[in-house]
């Protein structure tokens, strides 16, 4: 099966680069482009620096932040690690208790596991069967020595939305730093870090039609938060993230986020219609159940389980579709999704679940063909075991 004949429904893993973004990036890479080191004082460097600062303003505008709060990183994984480890280690003398949820991305979970090795105590919140962590759960978990709460805005496997504004208000009231992984919500939901009382926010370009390898950590500046860097070198990005800045990638992220915010409402409206069309078609197969909250979810992500189906056989049969059984970062594991198991799904149902994620370039024909392919394969597999599994 060649990629050109495969229907791409894995936008939650990564998005295609928008052609407008790619064209701007290519301009930077040409011999007469902005190839200077942004830290250099000559005209080549100042040209690159000006483009980087414009991109900083574009990303800041998309999340309601001031440009000086934007720190360039290699992506959301680095941003998550810098936020979690950086804050916890800087303020270790103030408290060694931190809070997160069992359904977070691996970049967050593994950072908290590292903190446990360093002597921190982690409270692992368990969401309800709908995938939502209630604000009251966070309030009840806070202690006098709590210094950090980290919860994602949108779950990467189920698409479920957390009420980060309500949780942010609780954290701000108690003087606890609040970190949000917003990799899956940028360009899909309105984000305003000031209104939502968010102290640290992780973003990545490749989930929002930008290039891979570039991301952002928003860091609250007033009052100063206190953050220990993970790496050391030339002192770029106010010393929080040293290294020569990749102008073409940064410029690409800036434009991707500007387009994403400008076209967000239109994109969401169109994709919502396609998602409902896909869900209706899948439910018509029978023995199909939605994972996660039915309405508190982003437009593009649809995670469903198939009863009386062996998951590996189903995924093998869906080779005409680029879909996922969970997070792309954990795709090498044979274990059932830890996110779905945390929602109470059995190992069997978690393994027989598929994440379909739609995006800017998904068409109605893609959806209809996907429904037909899934219906065919589910029917074929169930016919092999007529009495169920």
Q: Which residues are tagged catalytic?
A: 329
Distance separating alpha carbons of residues 314 and 338, to the nearest angstrom: 19
Distance separating alpha carbons of residues 268 and 187, to the nearest angstrom: 9
Distance separating alpha carbons of residues 59 and 204, to the nearest angstrom: 11
Long-range contacts of 29-33 (CB under 8 A, 24+ apart): 29/248, 33/248
CB 137 within 8 A of CB 70: no
Q: Where do runs of H (alpha helix) occur along 216-346?
A: 247-262, 264-283, 311-317, 338-342
Angstrom distances, CA of residue 243 to CA of 118, 120, 256: 27, 29, 23
CB 146 within 8 A of CB 87: no
Residues 231, 236, 237, 239: what is their CA dihedral angle, to the nearest 10 degrees? 50
How many helices and strands, by DSSP H and E, does the chain display?
A: 12, 12
Distance from chain centroid for Cα 187: 11
CB 300 within 8 A of CB 159: yes
In sequence order, the β-bridge partners of residue 121 are: 97
Nearest by Cα to 329 from 154, 162, 104: 104
| Residues whose CB is less than 8 angstroms from the CB of residue 268 and which lie 6 or more positions away in sequence, other chains included | 188, 299
């Amino acid at each position: 099966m060649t990629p050109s004949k495969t229907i791409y429904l894995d936008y939650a893993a990564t998005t295609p680069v928008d052609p407008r973004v790619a064209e701007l990036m290519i301009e930077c890479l040409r011999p007469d482009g902005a190839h200077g080191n942004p830290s250099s004082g000559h005209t080549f460097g100042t040209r690159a620096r000006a483009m980087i600062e414009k991109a900083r303003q574009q990303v800041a505008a998309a999340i309601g932040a001031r440009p000086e709060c934007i720190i360039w990183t290699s992506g959301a994984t680095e941003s998550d690690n810098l936020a979690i480890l950086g804050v916890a280690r800087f303020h270790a003398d103030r408290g060694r208790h931190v809070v997160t949820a069992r359904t977070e991305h691996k970049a967050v979970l593994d950072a908290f596991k590292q903190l446990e090795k360093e002597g921190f105590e982690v409270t692992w919140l368990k969401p309800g069967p709908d995938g939502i962590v209630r604000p009251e759960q966070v309030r009840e978990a806070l202690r006098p020595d709590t210094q950090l709460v980290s919860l994602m805005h949108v779950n990467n496997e189920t698409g479920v939305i957390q009420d980060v504004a309500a949780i942010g208000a609780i954290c701000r009231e108690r003087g606890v730093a609040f970190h949000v992984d917003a990799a899956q919500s940028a360009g899909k939901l309105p984000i305003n870090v000031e209104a939502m009382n968010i102290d640290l926010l992780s973003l990545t370009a490749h989930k929002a039609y930008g290039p891979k390898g570039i991301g952002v950590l928003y860091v609250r500046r007033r009052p100063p938060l206190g953050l220990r860097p993970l790496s050391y070198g030339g002192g770029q990005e106010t010393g929080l993230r040293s290294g020569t800045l990749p102008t073409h990638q940064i410029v690409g992220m800036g434009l991707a986020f500007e387009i994403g915010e400008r076209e967000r409402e239109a994109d969401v409206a169109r994709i919502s219609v396609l998602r409902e069309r896909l869900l209706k078609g899948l439910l018509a197969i029978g023995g199909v159940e939605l994972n996660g909250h039915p309405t508190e979810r982003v437009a593009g992500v649809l995670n469903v389980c198939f009863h009386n189906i062996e998951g590996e056989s189903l995924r093998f049969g869906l080779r005409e579709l680029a879909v996922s059984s969970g997070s792309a970062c954990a795709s090498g594991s044979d274990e059932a999704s830890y996110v779905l198991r945390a929602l109470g799904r059995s190992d069997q149902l978690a393994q027989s679940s598929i994440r379909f994620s739609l995006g800017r370039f998904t068409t109605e024909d893609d959806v209809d063909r996907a429904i037909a392919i899934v219906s065919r394969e589910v029917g074929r597999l169930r016919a092999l075991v007529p009495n169920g599994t």
